[in-house]
Chains A and B, each alone.
Chain A
Amino acid sequence: MSEQPAAGTVSLDKTASETRRRFSFRFEIDPARKESPWWMTIVSIVLALLACAIFIAANGKNPWLVYEKMFRGAFMSEFGITETLVKAIPLLLCGLGVAIAYRISVWNIGAEGQFVAGAIGATAVTVYLPEMPMSLTIPIMIVFAVVAGGIWGALTALPKVYFQVNELITSLMLNYVALLLLDYLVFDPWKDPKGFNFPGTPMFTDAQMLPVLGDTRLHLGLVFALVIVLIYWFTVKYTRWGYELRLIGANQDAARNAGINIKKHILIVMVISGAVAGIAGMSEVTGVTHRLMYGISPGYGYTAIIVAWIAKLNPFGLVISSVLFGGLIVGGYSVQTMGLPSSISSMIQGAILFFLIAGNMVSKFRLRRNG
């Protein structure tokens, strides 16, 4: 109803009294600048490392030595690199799940629970189904993991779509439920009777394990992850459904005008997101631990959120950031000999995210002189 200011820039029309009291500048939010420049990510990471250095120093350790050891441990040896890649696999897959959901503005914080669900699903095959050759066992385990993860994802989507329950809380709660379910299974019905009370299932048979590269721990899961990345990239760019997702993510109103059923898409996307995280769980269980056990995830689902955010939903960015964070986790383990907890990596992750957000927003501002 009112007259519109000229199209193009939206400016903060600070009234004169305010302006005199505060700055003689004007902040302008440039709507055309949706993405922050690529170097902002690097700056954020550097700043985060600096900030954490303060904490490390406060604890009496030399931060530069610590960082050097982390880097060496993660990237400078054959063992380190393969370990980094091993950690990157679940991060990549869970990150994909988070990214797929975030494309349509759905917050999937439940990747952790979906990961566990997938691991449980895959393990169920070893417990309940008869022995089969690997060529059958592995695909069936994948199917079970996909179904389990997909169900877990749906459990987050259904309350959202039908009851307007915020998916953040639902997915979070389901994470804890999944972990408790895991605990139950590995401490009780599925526990290895010969395991000396170790909370885990019996070791998988050869048919139930993923083949590895040489004598490293790098397993076939890497292939799964890369294949899924390619499928994701291809789908978003070349298929009708990928187009619909892009449209919903860009402008929900316009998507509705184009006849897209948003609720249906939320459901589908969450199921897929959960399924992909489920595959991450399956590959971890069959490729790395070779059993279902307590503590199967050191927070992959949560780290995956940062991985997805840094990559800005770009599939190839996801690969890079998952390797980066895989290295961070491995680096964290390698400084344990210095007496530091491996959780140092979570602290750095959180700091990176903080600076990323700040950097993201700061880059949207432009300083203009008033007048």
Chain B
Amino acid sequence: MRETFSLEMKQIVKQFGSVIANDHVDFNCKPGEVHALLGENGAGKSTIMCMLSGVYRPTSGEIYIHGEKVKIRSPKDATKLGVGMVFQNFRLVQTLTAAENIVLGEKSSFWRGPRWMKNKTEEIDSIAKRFGLAFPVDRPIWQLSVGEQQRVEIVKTLYRGAEFIILDEPTSVLTPGEADQLFLTLEQMKSEGKTVILTTHKMKEVMAAADRISVMRKGRMIHTIDKSDTNEKDLARLMVGSDIAPVEIQGRTRPRGELLLNVENLDVYAEHGRKALNNLNLKVYKGEIVGVAGVAGNGQSELAEVLNGLCTWKKGKITFNGVEIKTASVRGAIEAGISHVPENRMKSGLAGSLGVVDNLLFKSYRSEHRSKYGFLKIKSNREWSQRLVEQFDVKTPGIDAPVRQLSGGNQQKLLFAREIDRKPELMVAVHPTQGLDVGATAGVHRLLNGLRDEGKSVLLISEDLEEVMQLSDRILIIYNGCVVGEMRQEEANRERIGLYMAGIREKEEEAV
């Protein structure tokens, strides 16, 4: 017997330029179910949901709601069709109250005296209570906690009569208690016949809340399955793809040296008082590549920032080369010999309008090779830049060409050239091959291996699990701001890493 689907998306393709974000994806939902879309970052789950909610338009493919074909061209169309989406970054006006945000855009009365607001507020309150979503209705949004703000967003969709509610990584901003509360809300929505779609990478929520689970990977829909027919291990395998050929491991040529970096019990707070790093412990030895795997948003950025002196820590101790680092200082980090390849090279790593020479000088312009008595050694700097460009095979129209004219791969090579030329003790590379083609990626990998072979160390923070497994001598998995698992290259396998990444701990591995 075939149940009718309330929602069907057939053969959806979404292309951005040459990047295929969704590759012939089929997705369907039944009324009154909680359907989880499981996958890592870049799997394509947010993209496909954006098409359902009208933010993107599909390159090809069809969407059917209750059997009728529909064209969703804008968020307004989506709302009319009963689709509401709660994004990870909320669409809320900070200075307005929750109630005001919810009624924003409503075309009804012009005059909104206190009585009108009172009616609306009661309406909103009743919806909120029905679904177990409590929040202060009359305070401006910036005063609400993140969890409360999310509830406002959910009520917003319900208030508009949404039948399909999409939640994009909802628990990434919630405490465990708030997450449980959310699951109760989902139950209530289910019982009222609504369809809830959850995108997530967290196994626990999937098993706790979902009725059916669809796993996506690298833009494709891998499998859709009922919860009762599967378990966490199977899902993890589907998510990271253990049916792929075993990863080529590039072994170490010499044993590792002494302890270089020791991070102990680190607590770091990000904006809004959110705890980004929670009692994090990390060790890096000389002559090794340590890979940090994990889904983005679990503290990786903050870890990289702390190590490079860009942000302070509330608690904990960091020791580098035997010396304790007491204060966060970028110059201090640079002088100590820490190199940084940031995740967004055009935003924080390079100055697009400046030329190649100027960009290469970033970290070393204070050294005596590059400047003397405050004057830049122009000629010798240019020669040095020329040498670097050739050595690292950076294709550029000239050493004065603005860096933004270079291709992504060459920009990254330039960054590496700069950072490696300094002969750093530790290189912190964050998503170093993001947006690079196969050739450029291989080049970066060669550079990282080269560093390791010289007895230096690399902390490789990357969402690309394959890359981490290929290069790292040791793999740490970060989840919710602390290191939840560690394994040596020989014992690493995708399943186990996938489980850790999804927040399922087996036994705490003792750091060797």
Touching chains A and B, CB distance < 8 Å: yes
C-alpha gap A254/B352 in the complex (Å): 10
C-alpha gap A170/B346 in the complex (Å): 33
Q: Name the distance in Å between A261's Cβ and chain B's nearest Cβ.
A: 9
B408 in contact (CB, < 8 A)? yes
Contact B330 A259 (CB under 8 A): yes
A16 in contact (CB, < 8 A)? yes
Which of A2, A5, A18, A247 has the most B CB atoms < 10 Å from its CB? A2
Which residues between 248 and 279 of chain A lie within 8 Å of chain B, taking CB atoms?
250-251, 253-259
C-alpha gap A62/B21 in the complex (Å): 64
Cβ–Cβ < 8 Å partners of A255 in chain B: 351
Cβ–Cβ < 8 Å partners of A8 in chain B: 17
Contact A250 B351 (CB under 8 A): yes
A105 in contact (CB, < 8 A)? no
Contact B18 A257 (CB under 8 A): no
Contact A256 B310 (CB under 8 A): yes
C-alpha gap A5/B297 in the complex (Å): 20
C-alpha gap A15/B309 in the complex (Å): 43
Interface membership of chain A positions 24-35, coded 1 if the CB is closer than 8 angstroms to chain B and 0 otherwise:
000000011010
Contact A5 B376 (CB under 8 A): no
Contact A1 B57 (CB under 8 A): no
> B375 touches which one: A18, A240, A254 (CB < 8 A)?
A240
Contact B73 A5 (CB under 8 A): no
- Which of chain A's residues has its CB closest to B296's CB? A1
Given A7-B435, A238-B378: A246 and B354 interface contact (C-beta under 8 Å): yes
A36 in contact (CB, < 8 A)? no
Contact A4 B365 (CB under 8 A): no
Cβ–Cβ < 8 Å partners of B404 in chain A: 31-32
Which of A16, A241, A251, A257 has the most B CB atoms < 10 Å from its CB? A257
A316 in contact (CB, < 8 A)? no
> B74 touches which one: A17, A237, A250, A257 (CB < 8 A)?
A17
Contact B371 A250 (CB under 8 A): no
> A6 touches which one: B17, B351, B353, B374 (CB < 8 A)?
B17
> B330 touches which one: A4, A241, A256 (CB < 8 A)?
A256
A215 in contact (CB, < 8 A)? no
Contact B358 A257 (CB under 8 A): no
Contact B330 A258 (CB under 8 A): yes
Contact A1 B41 (CB under 8 A): yes
Q: Name the distance in Å between B295's Cβ and chain A's nearest Cβ.
A: 10
C-alpha gap A251/B342 in the complex (Å): 14
Cβ–Cβ < 8 Å partners of A240 in chain B: 365-366, 371, 374-376
A336 in contact (CB, < 8 A)? no
C-alpha gap A240/B367 in the complex (Å): 10
Q: Name the distance in Å between A138's Cβ and chain B's nearest Cβ.
A: 28
B294 in contact (CB, < 8 A)? no
Which residues between 307 and 334 of chain B lie within 8 Å of chain A, taking CB atoms?
308-310, 329-331, 333-334
A243 in contact (CB, < 8 A)? yes
Cβ–Cβ < 8 Å partners of B21 in chain A: 3
C-alpha gap A195/B329 in the complex (Å): 60
Given A7-B408, A257-B349, A258-B330: A241 and B374 interface contact (C-beta under 8 Å): yes
C-alpha gap A255/B435 in the complex (Å): 23
Contact A238 B330 (CB under 8 A): no
Contact B330 A257 (CB under 8 A): yes
C-alpha gap A237/B375 in the complex (Å): 9
Q: State which of B42-50, B221-229, B248-256 sits at the interface with chain A.
A: B42-50
A205 in contact (CB, < 8 A)? no
Which residues between 390 and 425 of chain B lie within 8 Å of chain A, taking CB atoms?
404-405, 408
B361 in contact (CB, < 8 A)? yes
A239 in contact (CB, < 8 A)? yes
Cβ–Cβ < 8 Å partners of A254 in chain B: 347-351, 362
Contact A257 B310 (CB under 8 A): yes
Which residues between 220 and 242 of chain A lie within 8 Å of chain B, taking CB atoms?
237-241
Contact A258 B16 (CB under 8 A): no
B88 in contact (CB, < 8 A)? yes
- Which of chain A's residues has its CB closest to B435's CB? A7
Given A243-B361, A246-B354, A258-B362: A3 and B73 interface contact (C-beta under 8 Å): no
Contact B351 A247 (CB under 8 A): yes
B19 in contact (CB, < 8 A)? yes
Contact B310 A3 (CB under 8 A): no
Cβ–Cβ < 8 Å partners of A2 in chain B: 46-47, 50
Contact B358 A246 (CB under 8 A): yes
Contact B353 A34 (CB under 8 A): yes
Contact A238 B331 (CB under 8 A): no
Cβ–Cβ < 8 Å partners of A5 in chain B: 16-17, 19
Given A238-B378, A247-B358: A17 and B73 interface contact (C-beta under 8 Å): yes
Cβ–Cβ < 8 Å partners of B405 in chain A: 32
B340 in contact (CB, < 8 A)? yes
Q: Name the distance in Å between B72's Cβ and chain A's nearest Cβ.
A: 10
Cβ–Cβ < 8 Å partners of B57 in chain A: 15-16
Cβ–Cβ < 8 Å partners of A16 in chain B: 57, 73
Which residues between 1 and 35 of chain B lie within 8 Å of chain A, taking CB atoms?
16-19, 21
Given A17-B73, A240-B374: A258 and B19 interface contact (C-beta under 8 Å): no
Which residues between 34 and 72 of chain B lie within 8 Å of chain A, taking CB atoms?
41-42, 44, 46-47, 50, 54, 56-57
Q: Name the distance in Å between A325's Cβ and chain B's nearest Cβ.
A: 27
Contact A239 B375 (CB under 8 A): yes
Contact A250 B354 (CB under 8 A): yes
C-alpha gap A54/B343 in the complex (Å): 54
Contact A238 B376 (CB under 8 A): yes
B363 in contact (CB, < 8 A)? yes
Cβ–Cβ < 8 Å partners of B309 in chain A: 259
Cβ–Cβ < 8 Å partners of A239 in chain B: 371, 374-376
C-alpha gap A255/B88 in the complex (Å): 29
C-alpha gap A32/B401 in the complex (Å): 12
Cβ–Cβ < 8 Å partners of A6 in chain B: 16-19
Q: Name the distance in Å between B123's Cβ and chain A's nearest Cβ.
A: 30
Cβ–Cβ < 8 Å partners of B342 in chain A: 257
C-alpha gap A7/B353 in the complex (Å): 16
Q: Name the distance in Å between B437's Cβ and chain A's nearest Cβ.
A: 11
Contact A1 B362 (CB under 8 A): no
C-alpha gap A246/B353 in the complex (Å): 10
Contact A257 B376 (CB under 8 A): no
Cβ–Cβ < 8 Å partners of A253 in chain B: 347-348
Q: Name the distance in Å between A98's Cβ and chain B's nearest Cβ.
A: 20
Cβ–Cβ < 8 Å partners of A246 in chain B: 354, 358
C-alpha gap A34/B435 in the complex (Å): 24
- Which of chain B's residues has its CB closest to A16's CB? B73
C-alpha gap A287/B169 in the complex (Å): 70
Q: Name the distance in Å between B510's Cβ and chain A's nearest Cβ.
A: 33
Interface membership of chain B positions 354-395, coded 1 if the CB is closer than 8 angstroms to chain A and 0 otherwise:
100010011101100001001110100000000000000000
Cβ–Cβ < 8 Å partners of B297 in chain A: 1
Q: Name the distance in Å between A231's Cβ and chain B's nearest Cβ.
A: 13
Cβ–Cβ < 8 Å partners of B376 in chain A: 238-240, 243
C-alpha gap A17/B405 in the complex (Å): 34
Cβ–Cβ < 8 Å partners of B296 in chain A: 1
C-alpha gap A248/B365 in the complex (Å): 14
C-alpha gap A238/B74 in the complex (Å): 52
Interface membership of chain B positions 75-95, coded 1 if the CB is closer than 8 angstroms to chain A and 0 otherwise:
000000000000010000000
Q: Given contacts A2-B46, A238-B375, A254-B350, could you give 9 more A-B pairs where the C-beta distance is less than 8 Å?
A: A237-B378, A240-B371, A251-B347, A254-B347, A256-B330, A257-B349, A258-B330, A259-B309, A259-B330
In the complex, 14 of the A-B residue pairs with CB atoms within 8 angstroms, ordered by the A residue number, are A1-B88, A2-B50, A4-B435, A6-B17, A7-B408, A17-B74, A34-B353, A239-B374, A240-B365, A250-B354, A251-B352, A254-B349, A256-B330, A257-B349
Interface pairs A-B: 6 shortest CB-CB:
A6-B17, A250-B351, A259-B330, A259-B331, A5-B16, A251-B351
Q: Which residues of A contact B (CB under 8 A)?
A: 1-8, 13, 15-18, 31-32, 34, 237-241, 243, 246-247, 250-251, 253-259
